[in-house]
Amino acid sequence: MLTESQRERIQVILVSPRNPLNIGAVARAMANFGFTRMRVVAPYEPHWREARSAVGAPQLLIDAQETASLPEAIRDCLLVLGTGTLTHRKPEQPVVRLDQLAPLMTEPLRRGERVALIFGPEKHGLTREDLSYCHILVEIPTDPRQPSMNLGQAAAVCFYELAARIQVDSVGLEPPQDAEEPAPTSSNLDVLANLIEEVMTSTNYSPKTMQAANRHDLRLMLRRLHLNAADTRRALGFFRRILWRLKRGRHT
């Protein structure tokens, strides 16, 4: 079973939830399996912290962080996992079934990295834009005749799988000195993506009508490349130098 320190590295993120009762149900399920870190992105109702459905977990709602955007919520996470079904969705990132998730999270947790598990709004789940910030889409298999799940139920199923299947001993709580270079945080990748986009804009790479699509594809590509932190720093240096040369050339 995970230690308390390791469970605290799993960040549960709810994107634009509409019903406070569902937020409370997620909090209760988190408490059932020992998870404590919740972030809520742009909740629909302002009084969600008062949800009565958070039986046994009112403090978890009080301590939860509220953010205005998904990038802000995952800024310090090195592995970002979106959840959903494949019904009416063509994924653009690797897909794993829920029962295959635990092995993917074992090593990041052993290395002391923070992992985000994201749930979308009740009506439609995570959008294509939301998923562009995710390294992996976690499929929750369901009967095709009823593919959608209640938010609280979906969360509870995921938390059980993590609590029951992840095997991380206490030896790896702190990364060893000879550990490989860690992955960049989501915030680091966004900084790189924004810089590359600025270079593309400076070179008139594409018309304005294509800039949003290019931005989306760039986020996906950087996450599929699995860069480490050192590679990300080097790439930042390359593109900053290119941008400097481009701007300098305009004034010479």
Q: Above 70 in pLDDT, residue 1? A: no
Q: Return the amino acid letter for 218.
A: L
pLDDT for 170 equals 45
Q: Which fold has domain 4-172?
A: Alpha/beta knot (3.40.1280)
Q: Above 90 in pLDDT, residue 88? A: no
What's the CA dihedral at 104, 109, 59, 157 to 10 degrees? 20
pLDDT for 110 equals 86
pLDDT for 80 equals 97
Q: What percent of the chain has pLDDT over 90?
A: 60
- The helix (H) or strand (E) run that includes residue 15 is strand 10-15
Decide: helix, strand or coil at residue 77: coil
**Domain boundaries in the chain?**
4-172, 186-250
Of 1-10, 64-73, 156-165, 197-206, the one with minimum mean pLDDT is 1-10
DSSP characters over 23-74: HHHHHHHHHHTT--EEEEES-SSTTGGG-TT-TT-HHHHHH-EEESSHHHHT
DSSP characters over 80-134: EEEEE--TT---SS-EEEGGGHHHHHHHHHHTT--EEEEE--TTT-S-HHHHTT-
Write out pLDDT tens, residues 114-165: 999 999 998 888 999 999 999 999 998 888 888 788 999 999 999 999 988 8
DSSP characters over 166-188: ----GGGSS--TTPPPPPPPHHH
Of 15-29, 89-103, 181-195, 232-246, the one with minimum mean pLDDT is 89-103
- Biggest CA–CA distance in the chain, Å, is 67
Given a contact cutoff of 8 angstroms between Cβ atoms, the answer to whether 101 and 81 are in contact is yes
Decide: helix, strand or coil at residue 75: coil
Both tokens of 246, joined, read 């481009």
Decide: helix, strand or coil at residue 13: strand
Both tokens of 53, joined, read 């459905």
Sign, CA dihedral 41-155-138-109, equals positive
For residues 88-108, give the mean pLDDT.
87
d(CA 228, CA 213): 25
pLDDT for 143 equals 84
Of 3-7, 59-63, 73-77, the one with minimum mean pLDDT is 3-7
pLDDT for 84 equals 86
pTM for this entry: 0.87
Given a contact cutoff of 8 angstroms between Cβ atoms, the answer to whether 47 and 13 are in contact is no
Write out pLDDT tens, residues 161-175: 998 888 765 444 455
Higher pLDDT, 81 or 181: 81
